[in-house]
Amino acid sequence: MSIYKDSIETLRQTVEGLHASKARYKEKTFVRQVHDGDLLWEGDVFVFGLTYDSKYGGATKEQIANWRLPGPTAEALDAAERRGQKIRKQLETDHARNPEGKRKAKLAYAWSSPIKGSDKRKFNVVLHEGLVKSPADAVKAAMAKK
């Protein structure tokens, strides 16, 4: 077992901060990475379910408050509306061809590791997408990135 206790709340906040989503704790899984008989890493990996705020694209209240700028003229609004309709039609066509483009990860894997020579911890967050299908895959992906 891991000698370090990870705070679920700290990991949840890290996941939410990195991926502009709401994270909800689902489970904890023990993972051991061994390569050629050598122990590379072992510890607990926490799984979080992700939900995205589609209304504001995950923006915080402070960011939304900063969006308030002096308004454009009526002609500029009409021109923007026409451009928006054209772009919306193009995006709908693109989405019909490639529905994967709008998908977002539904799970995130998070854990922390000690930093050598320090009493601080490094937080790791890997999304459940692409080749990452399990907590063990997430640890492998993070180790490969190093």
pLDDT of residue 55: 57
For the chain, domain boundaries: 1-52+104-146, 61-103
Q: 11, 48 in Cβ contact below 8 A?
A: yes
CB 111 within 8 A of CB 44: yes
Indicate the SS3 state at residue 51.
strand
Report the run of H or E that residue 74 belongs to, with start and end: helix 74-97
* 10-residue averages of pLDDT along the chain (146 residues): 64 88 92 88 92 63 62 75 80 62 78 87 91 94 86
Selection from 28, 52, 20, 26 nearest residue 112 by Cα: 28
pTM over 0.75: no
